[in-house]
């Protein structure tokens, strides 16, 4: 039994396309199976005692993929966001959207805004969906918000806390455990500043095959880590 549960878990959902290719199927089959895995994973991660869960669903760089694949992904987002509203309300889950609206279909933007609004008073569990998001883009937008703030800001005394107030993740704590599937060992521009002291767990399992057992492995890995935050360990 795992006793040390991370407060904030972030996951880079990777490997849908490769999962489909290994089976001789179109990439969209992998994305659809990945969406099913996502629904199940949210439930068992919430039940584990984790308070915050952030999911990298669609990067600003993903627009470079074939138009047909991007269109299919937008359709998956639209259908699952509609379903998520009811479940989020029922489970007292507050949903956060990380990313920019530019380029997203109007229906997806409206659904995300509605989902965030309808769950804004919930506090049992926090789910952050990174859709049309990248860490560098978030930093640029955050600096822009800070520069446009009405208060007289002294840039010479800029503090991390000042920037945090302008970030998409303003209502989220820093990441404790970051998980990436598919065997890739990089952050791919996801929550770069928020993961400064996160423990990184990489698994070769492709996202559609992610399971409660793999998540338990990640929790055991986290429990065995000594988090020093720049200090000297015991």
Residue in the structure block whose two tokens are 């627009």: 63
Mean pLDDT within 133-142: 97
Q: Give catalytic residues, as residue numbers.
A: 14, 62
Q: According to CATH, what is the number of the domain 8-223?
A: 3.40.1180.10
Q: 104 with 132: CB under 8 angstroms?
A: yes
| Spatial separation of the C-alpha atoms in residues 212 and 40, rounded to whole Å | 9
Q: How far is CA 112 from CA 42, 57, 99, 109, in A?
A: 17, 13, 11, 5
pLDDT digits (tens, 9 = 90+) for 171-206: 999 999 999 999 999 999 999 999 999 999 999 999
pLDDT in the model for residue 230? 64
Residue 187: Cβ-neighbour burial (10 angstroms; 0-12, 13-18, 19+) = middle
3-state secondary structure of 31: helix
pLDDT at 152 over 90: no
Mean pLDDT within 76-94: 95
3-state secondary structure of 67: helix
pLDDT digits (tens, 9 = 90+) for 92-104: 999 999 999 999 9
Q: 3 or 34, which is more confident?
A: 34
Mean pLDDT within 148-153: 76
pLDDT at 27 over 80: yes
Provide the residue ranges of all domains of the chain, joining segments of one domain with +. Answer: 8-223
pTM: 0.95
pLDDT in the model for residue 233? 57
At 11, the pLDDT band (50, 70, 90 cuts) reads very high
pLDDT digits (tens, 9 = 90+) for 38-60: 999 999 999 999 999 999 999 99
């Amino acid at each position: 039994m795992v006793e040390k549960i991370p407060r904030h878990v972030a996951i880079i959902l990777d490997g849908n396309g490769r999962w489909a290719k290994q089976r001789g199927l179109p990439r969209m089959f992998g994305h659809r199976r990945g969406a099913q895995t996502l629904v199940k994973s949210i439930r068992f991660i919430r039940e584990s005692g984790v308070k915050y869960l952030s999911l990298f669903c669609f990067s600003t760089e993903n627009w470079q993929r074939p138009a047909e694949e991007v269109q299919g992904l937008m359709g998956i987002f639209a259908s699952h966001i509609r379903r998520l509203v009811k479940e989020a309300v029922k489970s007292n889950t507050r949903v956060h959207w990380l990313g920019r609206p530019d380029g997203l279909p109007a229906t997806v933007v409206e659904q995300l805004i509605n989902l965030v609004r309808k769950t804004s008073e919930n506090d049992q569990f926090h789910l952050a969906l990174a859709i049309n998001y990248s860490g560098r883009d978030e930093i640029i937008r955050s600096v822009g918000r800070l520069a446009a703030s009405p208060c007289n800001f002294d840039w010479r005394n800029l503090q991390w806390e000042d920037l945090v107030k302008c970030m998409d993740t303003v209502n989220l704590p820093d990441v404790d455990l970051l998980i990436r599937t598919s065997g890739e060992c990089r952050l791919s521009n996801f929550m770069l500043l928020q993961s400064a002291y996160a423990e990184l767990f990489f698994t070769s399992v492709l996202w559609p095959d992610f399971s409660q057992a793999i998540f338990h492995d990640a929790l055991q890995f986290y429990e065995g880590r000594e988090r020093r935050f720049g200090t000297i360990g015991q």
